[in-house]
Chain A
């Protein structure tokens, strides 16, 4: 079974959980030329990222091609406690997707 493309770290301190995620994805803009073929590498990028806590969405993001390759994302939310589950998932323009869960520390 393939490992997730998403690494998540979530830490709660004084009621606020800081989430940091690193995703392995090409985030190809569609404007980069393949020097060998002369054609552009086709656009392949994450369009939507969803983060949920205990099943409730806390953050969703719309992304374009200008998010860097191997994207990083961090945000903070309240109302979680140590041991709760955080889930991060993404869908890209080709319809591919992946997700990962982490326990909030």
Chain B
């Protein structure tokens, strides 16, 4: 069983240059192995070794897979989950035609069967990683509608509906073996392991090296299974939020300037981050603290 140790936070007194994180990304390619399949295998292996009592598929329940007390509270929320309100709103939005008569279904013919397991995907023609939220807005703008804001509100409701339709499907992000696609993957991987902010911490510091340990009174969730339940109803937000909303919040928590939702940085991170949970069964949308 995992012992809970207090994570010692080394608060840097010096004024951290916010740009330092960005400089890290601009540095010449370091010695990262260009082998996503091996990375995925190692990632899963690390977490299954670290938490031998947790079945692989349970990692999609995040911190609740490693902590009994909070799992009980979460299960009581799941009895009638607050995200159900968002799913209903999303369904109504999805089925409402645009001014030009077309509907979201014309952009997403597979939505009702489940499509989010294939996101994000790399669009080779455009050299862009396409996320669900980005695709939603591109569907809107190509049909003469205004784009939605990316972190909460209608975009999160639509995303919740789409995520719900994909519940039960296995994560199936494809890292295409081209230099352009690999560049996105590597950028995302670097972001995950790079230290940033005044607290000089990386995603990995908390969610990889200290997964299961405590930071004050919170237990750090393992990064394996992280993305499977998004978008998420956070009790803290008292509402739904997208993955990029959470990325921004996490960056702010280590006192790093957040990137914009759907920026290249966050889409690259999402590409790597979601791929690292491939094969795990999607269980979105979720409810978390």
Q: Do chains A and B touch in the complex (CB under 8 A)?
A: yes
Q: Of A20, A24, A69, A70, which is within 8 A of B79 by CB?
A: A20
Contacting B at CB under 8 A, from A21-50, are 21-22, 24
Q: Which residues of B contact A22 (CB under 8 A)?
A: 80-82, 84-85
Known: A3-B92, A7-B85, A24-B85. A70 touches B80 (CB 8 A): no
Question: A-B pairs with CB below 8 Å: how many?
Answer: 25
User: Is B238 an interface residue, CB under 8 A from the partner?
Assistant: yes
A-B contact pairs, 21 of them (CB 8 A): A3-B88, A3-B92, A7-B80, A7-B85, A7-B88, A9-B80, A20-B80, A21-B80, A22-B80, A22-B81, A22-B82, A22-B85, A24-B85, A69-B238, A70-B82, A70-B85, A70-B238, A72-B79, A72-B82, A74-B79, A74-B80
Interface class of chain B by DSSP: loop
Evaluate contact between A72 and B85: CB separation under 8 angstroms.
no
Chain A, residues 71-85, CB within 8 Å of chain B (1/0): the string is: 010100000000000
Distance (whole angstroms) from the CB of B126 to the closest CB of chain A: 37
* Interface residue count on the B side (C-beta < 8 Å): 9
Given contacts A7-B85, A7-B88, 17 further A-B contacts (CB under 8 A): A3-B88, A3-B92, A7-B80, A7-B84, A9-B80, A20-B79, A20-B80, A21-B80, A22-B80, A22-B82, A22-B85, A24-B85, A69-B238, A70-B82, A70-B85, A72-B82, A74-B80
A-B pairs, top 8 by smallest CB distance, nearest first, are A69-B238, A22-B80, A24-B85, A70-B82, A20-B80, A72-B80, A7-B84, A22-B84
CB neighbours (8 Å) of B238 from chain A are 69-70
**Nearest CB in chain B: distance from A52 CB, A:** 20
Chain B window 103-129, contacts with chain A (Cβ cutoff 8 Å), 1 for yes, 0 for no: 000000000000000000000000000
Residues in B45-88 with C-beta less than 8 Å from chain A: 79-82, 84-85, 88
Which residues in B have their C-beta under 8 angstroms from that of A69?
238
Q: How many residues of A contact B (CB 8 A)?
A: 11
B118 to chain A, nearest CB (A): 30
In the complex, residue of chain B having the shortest beta-carbon distance to the beta carbon of A5: B85
Which residue on chain A has the smallest CB distance to residue B76? A72
Of A21, A22, A70, the most chain B CB neighbours within 10 A belong to A70
In the complex, which residues of chain B have a beta carbon less than 8 angstroms from the beta carbon of A70? 82, 85, 238
Q: Look across to chain B and name the residue whose beta carbon is closest to the beta carbon of A73.
A: B80
| Beta-carbon nearest neighbor of A8 in chain B | B80
Residue of B nearest to A24 (CB): B85
Measured in the bound complex, the distance between the Cα atoms of B79 and A9 in whole Å is 11
Question: What chain A residues lie within 8 Å of B84 (beta carbons)?
Answer: 7, 22
- A49 → chain B closest CB, angstroms: 15
Cα distance, A72 to B82, chains bound together (Å)? 8
Q: Which residue of A lies closest to B77 (CB)?
A: A72
Interchain nearest-CB distance for A77 vs B (Å): 17
Closest Cβ of chain B: how far from A75's Cβ, in Å? 13
> Taking CB as reference atom, which chain A residue is nearest B233?
A70
Q: How far is the CA of A68 from the CA of B85 in the complex (A)?
A: 15
Which residues of the partner chain B approach A20 to less than 8 Å between Cβ atoms? 79-80
Tell me the complex Cα distance, A74–B79, Å.
10
Residues of B within 8 A of A7 (CB): 80, 84-85, 88
Point out which of A20, A72, A74 has the most chain B C-beta atoms below 10 A from its C-beta.
A72
Name the residue on A nearest B88 (C-beta).
A3
Chain B minimum-CB-distance residue to A71: B82
- Tell me, in angstroms, the Cα distance from A10 to B81 when the chains sit together: 15
Bound-state CA distance A22–B238 (Å) is 14
Q: Give Cα distance in the complex from A24 to B84, angstroms.
A: 10
Closest Cβ neighbor of A69 among chain B residues: B238
Which residues of B are found within 8 Å of A72, using beta-carbon distances?
79-80, 82
